[in-house]
Chains A and B, each alone.
Chain A
Amino acid sequence: MTAVEALPRPAEQGLKLSTRYGLLGALLIAPTVLIFCAVIVYPLVSAIYLSLFSIYTPTLKGRWVGLGNYADLLASGEFWNALGVNLIWTAGTLVLQLVAGVALALLLHQNIVFRSLARSLILFPYFMSTVVAVLVWRWLFNDLYGILNHAMMWTGLLSMPLDWLGRMPNAMISVILVGAWKYFPFVVISVLARLQTIPDHLYEAATMDGAGRWARFTDITLPQLREVLFIVILLRAIWDFKEFDLIYLMTGGGPVTSTMTLPLLVYKQAFALNEMGGASAVAVLMMIVMLGFMVLYFRTGRTAEN
């Protein structure tokens, strides 16, 4: 018997080679599919399922209310107010992060003194725990002992301490500023990495053609950064939209509900009012809103590219 003859034929095995390959493929991707189902599909389906019930959080017992939670939310001003606040926070902090991030990345791309040290230090806010960062900022903003008020009063900018976190629009401006400070290093490192790959000859050619600094920035740097900025904006918009800890620790959603974003509303529904069903409904609506914005963003990006 030759070696070839010794090989089992597909017919003998009962399965065709293509079928066996298909099964092997399914077997190989099964772990990925299982993990995907466990970490994405299951929580998503659970959230949607929970949102159809009125559930008391500590006992997780409840009754079927169908779309009642959604109807209540959409009819209440609280959801729309939180959505509006969420959009203001996201847009405000994202714009500041981008402006500060690109500006700092451009600066750190120059041949400046202590560039390596500066590049390391710039990451400091991003690495710092949010709780620690908020504690520090709350002390800086403190009316009685905060250095910000003392400095502004000492320089004559203020005659009385400013209430940074308890009045509007100060509270929103403060959380936007702290959010931008905390997260702009992500923009810096992303943009800086891309800046280092832009060929120098592009700038040299532009300079020879008489292009000034601004023209070189708008005609070379920005177009080169477009792809990385597209991703950075996408990621940061998602992360900022669902930001919870920084805002919760800074203002708790106040004054009144002026900084009450959707994630804080989810928390309030789930743990202050013990309404897990209502909280899940907010979370599902939040996901739909975010999905809508992302679709819009991708379409706009594709149109611009075309």
Chain B
Amino acid sequence: MTIRNLNNSPTGLTRRSALAVTGGALTAGALSRATSAQGAVTLRWWSPQSVPAQLAAYKLQIETFEAANPGIKVVFEPTSDETYAAQLAAAFASGQVPNIVTHLPSFAVGNYWRSGLLEPFNDVIQMVGPEKFYPGANRIYEVEPGVFAGAGIGGTAANSLWLRTDLMKKAGIAEAPKTWDELRTAARKMQGGGIYGAPLPYARNSMTTLIFICFIHLAGGQVFTPDLQVAIDSPETLNALEFYKSMRELCPPGATSYSWGESLTAFVSGATATGIYTGRVLANVNAQNPSIKDSITCTTYPSISASVPSWTFNDFPSMFIPKAAKDMGATKKFAAHIYAPEGYIKQLHAAPGHVLPVLKTIADDPKYQDNPIIAKYANEVKIMAAASAGGFNLGFESAKHKPNAKAGEVVNSAVIAEMVQRVCLNNEDPKKIVGETAQRIEKIVKG
């Protein structure tokens, strides 16, 4: 990873600039002492990941940072996957921005960077040590050669296929499905007695959009071409819609309003035989429904046929710093502190297998491996880690694609979720709807 030093100053120092620097330093020092004396340096940290175990990990990270940096206070403020865009838009517009934002999908970072709203993340990566990251872990954030808009805080395999091995056995299914036909047949066989086949989302929300984008890719299609022309109007999208619609009868009635939480709960509670989620399933099953903890496994999500490879949705949970954030020095220091082994491992252990490490030094750390869930489901974690490493999202659909700065707005507009609802719930003509959706996306792209 080549990182450009953004702090290079010109060599020749004039008397005027020396005076200015000295004056500035004195003023900054005085101000710093004043604010320290008042305890006024408060850093605000936003994240949509805030289940109790994660909050406990954040608390540890905050406490250790505050202990090492007297006079600086860190406040954690939760946001959510469905509302962060609105909250951040309002924050940027009002100038009341948080200091650090973590766990948002990578495409959000690209979008904000292109609007000139973010501070380069190079200093933080330098503080952490670029050699500690997995090779290419931050390629998605390299917005200009050597300039990083943010960095990964983890990896996910958000569309992993979760299976109940006990139900598979009961239904006479020997192997995990690899194609859509096999998946549908398996789900049909396992459905019954109050258990549904799958918890696929059919709501007007970001989960439906993001999951259906996976299905377009699993059909061999794409939403944008590598040079970012709208390509959703394709036979592959129609095939994906046809399959998705056929799965409706195998999903709970309320899947029409499912988001991530409901879909996860449906599988964890035992209401569905298959699931579609990240590794958070592991911790939740063990904590909330241990009766099935020995009967769950996961694999990559099936595709339309054996000739189409699986496509993993990795939202590349990110970390970035808004340009308008106050106390930039302390902010960057805290950002680097988040990667410190003790706190980072605790954060990863809060939902083992859900957010996977981006630092190879952490993945190899015996303390990270020393977790009962990671040890018990070593194979599943390995599958998800491999899938996550080769994962993509709408901001970066394949290795050939350019980063898509409009991905966030396409997701937030819900046009893809509306397309799914109109075809799968309202039985409207798929060809017409897909054409209209392509036009709507083009309109968003043109802004």
Contact B253 A162 (CB under 8 A): yes
Give chain B nearest CB distance to A72 CB in angstroms. 10
Contact B86 A267 (CB under 8 A): yes
Q: Is A224 an interface residue (CB 8 A)?
A: no
Contact bitstring A251-264, B, C-beta under 8 A = 1, else 0 = 11111110000000
Once bound together, how far apart are the Cα atoms of A176 and B73, in whole Å? 45
In the complex, which residue of chain B has the Cβ closest to the Cβ of A55? Answer: B93
Contact A254 B92 (CB under 8 A): no
Contact B253 A272 (CB under 8 A): no
Contact A144 B271 (CB under 8 A): yes
Instruction: Name the one of B90, B116, B204 contacting A59, with C-beta atoms under 8 angstroms.
Output: B116
**Binding-face segment, B36-44, B289-297, B406-414:** B406-414
Contact A254 B413 (CB under 8 A): no
Give chain A nearest CB distance to B63 CB in angstroms. 30
Contact A255 B204 (CB under 8 A): yes
In the complex, which residue of chain B has the Cβ closest to the Cβ of A254? Answer: B204
Once bound together, how far apart are the Cα atoms of A58 and B108, in whole Å? 12
Instruction: Name the one of B254, B271, B413, B417 contacting A163, with C-beta atoms under 8 angstroms.
Output: B254
Residues of chain B at interface, number, CB under 8 A: 37
In the complex, which residue of chain B has the Cβ closest to the Cβ of A267? Answer: B86
Known contacts A161-B253, A162-B253, A273-B412; A253 and B89 CB within 8 A of each other: no
Question: Using Cβ atoms and an 8 Å threshold, which residues of chain A touch B202?
Answer: 166
Give chain B nearest CB distance to A251 CB in angstroms. 7
Instruction: Name the one of B93, B203, B269 contacting A57, with C-beta atoms under 8 angstroms.
Output: B93
Enumerate B351-368 residues with CB–CB distance to A below 8 Å: none
Q: Is the interface of A mostly helix, strand, loop or mixed?
A: loop
Q: Is A180 an interface residue (CB 8 A)?
A: no
Q: Is B205 an interface residue (CB 8 A)?
A: yes
Q: Is B252 an interface residue (CB 8 A)?
A: yes
Question: Using Cβ atoms and an 8 Å threshold, which residues of chain A touch B444?
Answer: 273
Q: Is A167 an interface residue (CB 8 A)?
A: yes
**Binding-face segment, B141-149, B224-232, B421-429:** B421-429
Once bound together, how far apart are the Cα atoms of A229 and B26, in whole Å? 68
Contact B92 A163 (CB under 8 A): no
Contact A57 B89 (CB under 8 A): yes
Instruction: Name the one of A160, A162, A251, A272 contacting B257, with C-beta atoms under 8 angstroms.
Output: A251
Contact B254 A58 (CB under 8 A): no
Once bound together, how far apart are the Cα atoms of A165 and B262, in whole Å? 14
Contact B418 A256 (CB under 8 A): yes
Contact A144 B266 (CB under 8 A): yes
Question: Using Cβ atoms and an 8 Å threshold, which residues of chain A touch B256?
Answer: 163, 165-167, 254-255
Q: Is B112 an interface residue (CB 8 A)?
A: yes
Contact B257 A254 (CB under 8 A): yes
Q: Is B8 an interface residue (CB 8 A)?
A: no
Report, nearest first, the 9 A-B pairs whose CB atoms are least far apart: A166-B256, A143-B254, A254-B204, A271-B86, A58-B92, A272-B412, A163-B253, A143-B253, A57-B89
